[in-house]
Amino acid sequence: MIKTIDELFTLDEKRTSLIKKGDISSLKKTYSITHKVDNDNTASFWTNRLEKETYSMDYMKIDRINTVSEYLIKYSKKNNLNIGVGDGELERELKVLSNDTEIIGLDITYSGLKDALQKTDFPAICSSIKDLPFKKDSLQLVSVLEVLEHLIFSEILDVLDSINSILKKNGYLLISVPVNEKYSSSYNPNRHYRRYSGELIMEELKMSGFEILEFEYLFAFSKYYYLKKYLARSLLKKRWQPNVIIIVARKT
């Protein structure tokens, strides 16, 4: 029985270890473990959080939005959904890069959508990733950026199965999640319930009927961002740990 957030994080570390050992059978069994941890990522929590939060864009966030926008334009221009609109930067960037790329924005809070719609116009729906109001086989691409880490492991496979269901045959899932985080029960300001590694999130996608097409890591450098990014991917691959993984997957 899992009772604390620290135990959730430790279990994810165990999952990554099982994947590296190739023990996928034991990995799958860990998702049936019971827990008593409540998910506090409610609409009211995020409404209050957004009201108090000061908007900012760091280098990695800019890079993530640019990279995801380019992937989205590459793979699909119609019947697209972005789950977790946040500040609306993806929707705004798509308007700049490709005015004919269509996307629906879904977010858990009305206030978040209202603020995002002040930046750019897009079809918006207020709902939860756990309650997607779309028909089966209706969308060509779904993007989910910095959202899955807010789910408890007992929720993740159902959510990924639901996304798989609303995607058309050979439809695409575009995600980003933080990796190598060090949050704990005593310090978890962003209400994360997963300690993802690249290996873990990719295996969960495979378990939910997706194949991995592309992925790349980003780094939270505060200075000399693009120089250090180049070095981290070429000459100094072991010098820094990545902070985010972006994945393009396809429904199988």
Read off the pLDDT band of 246 (50, 70, 90): very high
The answer to whether 71 touches 97, Cβ cutoff 8 Å, is no
Strands (DSSP E) along the chain, which ranges? 80-83, 104-107, 124-126, 139-145, 167-178, 210-218, 244-251
108 touches 126 (CB < 8 A): yes
pLDDT band at 49 (very low <50, low <70, confident <90, very high): confident
In angstroms, the Cα distances linking 23 to 62, 201, 209 are 37, 15, 18
pLDDT band of 57, cuts 50, 70, 90: confident
Homologous superfamily (CATH) of 5-251 is Vaccinia Virus protein VP39 (3.40.50.150)
Determine the Cα–Cα distance for residues 204 and 106; give it in Å rounded to an integer. Answer: 23
First-to-last C-alpha distance (Å) of the chain: 34
Question: Which pLDDT belongs to residue 40?
Answer: 93
In sequence order, the β-bridge partners of residue 33 are none
Residue 48 — pLDDT band, cuts 50, 70, 90? Answer: confident
Give the residue among 202, 91, 76 at the shortest CA–CA distance from 148.
Answer: 202
Q: Lowest-pLDDT range, 119-128, 143-152, 203-212, 241-250?
A: 119-128
Q: Mind listing the pLDDT tens digit for each residue in 93-142?
A: 998 888 788 899 999 999 889 989 988 999 999 999 999 999 999 999 99
Give per-residue pLDDT as tens, 152-203: 999 999 999 999 999 999 999 999 999 999 999 999 989 999 999 999 999 9
Q: Indicate the pLDDT class of residue 15, thresholds 50, 70 and 90.
A: very high
